[in-house]
Amino acid sequence: MENFEIARVLGELADLLEIQGANSFRVRAYRNAGRAVAQTSRPYAEMVAAGEKLTDLPDIGETVASHIVELVRTGRLGRLEELGREVPLSLVELTRLESVGPKKAA
């Protein structure tokens, strides 16, 4: 899995959490982690395969690190799928419009 794909998934997770009204610090943590992953030139998949400690990297906490490992190993993220079942698809689609973010969609 490429870094940009991991970053996209973390961003989607942040959007779904924001739509649900999750803690703003948690939402921001996922957004920051997504940006950090996107801006890193070394592939995270390579780091996971080498058994490196992802939490040593900027903006990557324990939970995000475990999500990245799950994504790299399985190509899926159970937490994202779970939230996807809880949030109506129409709200997620609204966030893809240029001027509509997760807060407006909710």
Which run of H or E residues covers position 102?
helix 102-105
Q: Which residue has the higher pLDDT, 25 or 99?
A: 25
The pLDDT score that the predictor gives to residue 91 is: 67
pLDDT in tens, 34-87: 999 999 999 999 999 999 999 999 999 999 999 999 999 999 999 999 998 887
Read off the DSSP letter of residue 55.
G
pLDDT in tens, 62-71: 999 999 999 9
Smallest CA-to-CA distance from 21 within 72, 86, 89 is with 86
Does position 90 have pLDDT exceeding 60, yes or no?
Answer: yes
Q: Which domains does the chain have, with CATH numbers?
A: 3-105 (1.10.150.110)
